[in-house]
Each structure stands twice: as C-alpha cells, then as structure tokens.
Amino acid sequence: MFYTDTFHIDMSRSQVTDRPLNPTAASLLGLLHHGPMTGWDLVSTAQTVIGDFWTLTRSQVYRELATMTDAGLLEAGERGTRDRRPYTLTDAGRAAFAAWLDRGPDAETIRFPLLLTVLFGRQLAPGRLATILAERHALHAARAAHYEQIDKAARDAAGPPDPYAMAVLDFGRHYERAVLDWFAALPPELTAPTGP
C-alpha cells in the first residue's frame, strides 16, 4: 500500500500535541463539549452553527478527528450502526480547548473576490460589471433576509435567547446590511446596465 510506508505522516501526527490548535480543530472540540458526536454529526452541526463565518469540509473534519485522536485530545468510541463512530472529549482535549480559547482570536481574513472584479472592472466589456454586481447583490439580499428571519425566530422562541449565539448572528446581520449599503452607494458608472 501507499499509505503504510509513509512513516513520516504518523510522525507528524504524533507531534500535533505540542503545536497549538488551529481554529477548525478547536471548533470541533468546542462542539464536542455538548457530548460525543460522530464526524458526520460534527460536519452538519458545524455547518449550521459556525458555517456562516467559518468554512470546513468533511475531509478536514475527518482529518482533524484522526490527528486529535492520535494526540490524545479525543477518544474514538466503538463503531455503531452504519459504522458511526462517536468521538468523546478527553481531559487533555478539554484543556487544549480552554487554552486555545483563552489565547484569544487571530485577526480575521476577508477574501472578497468581487472586490478584485470591481478593482479591475474597467477592463470588462461594458455592462458586464453591472450584471455581475446585480447577481451578487441578489445573493446578499437573500442572505440578509435569511438572517433577519433567523433573528426573528430566535426572538420569538420561548425563553431568553443565548446572548453569545445572538451576538454571532448579529454580526451576520450587520455584515450583510453593510454589504447591501455598499451596493446601494455604488456610483451609476459601475451599475449602469449599458456600462460606463
């Protein structure tokens, strides 16, 4: 096999212990505080809970679970039906998460390809930029509406909402509203369907 003879891979995995967690791995640990979950569960939970401001893929999740298990931060349970394998936090995992959380966040990275398009927009055919902007605008309007809807649902729910989760949601609302405002403030030269 190709995999079994790449010994250095296992070496690097076993060294994970002394490297600081990455935010993706840490998030998985954070989610596992609610109880054992399988990779599948984690992917879908993460998607809904942090998916709006943090992307992760299935592959990544399984990889992080494997390395964190090797590092002793997680314990893999017995495979159940459909090969479901629950992962449980260990004390080391809990400690690693607490340490990560307390270190404070890194700076955010915004990567907004639309701004590259705008910056180089003069080189597009007349009207093409306007089309692109209109498409993007529709997308952000939909997202903004989506957030408002979630916000309303959370407010209408019984009992006081979790202020931490609400703060995160509120960021999404502010962000999308800012993007919409920006669209609205664009000069007609850029948004005119016939081009500048």
Judged by the rule CB under 8 A, the positions of this chain that interact with a copy of itself are 23, 26-27, 30, 33, 49-50, 53-55, 97-98, 101-102, 104-125, 128, 132, 135-136, 139, 163-168, 170-171, 174-175, 177-179, 181-182, 185-187, 189-190, 196
Among 161, 178, 115, 140, smallest CA distance to 52 is for 140
CB nearer a copy of itself, residue 187 or residue 193: 187
Q: Are 64 and 52 in contact (CB under 8 A)?
A: no
**DSSP letter for each residue of 177-195:** HHHHHHHHHS-HHHH-TT-
Element (H, E) at 52: none
Q: What residues from 32 to 71 belong to the interface with DNA (CB under 7 A)? A: 38-41, 55-60, 62-63, 65-66
Q: Which residues pair with 37 in a beta bridge?
A: 87
**Which of these ranges, 80-88, 126-134, 164-172, 178-186, lies near DNA under the rule CB under 7 A?**
80-88
Task: Indicate which single residue of 7, 34, 48, 82 sits in contact with DNA (rule: CB under 7 A).
Answer: 82
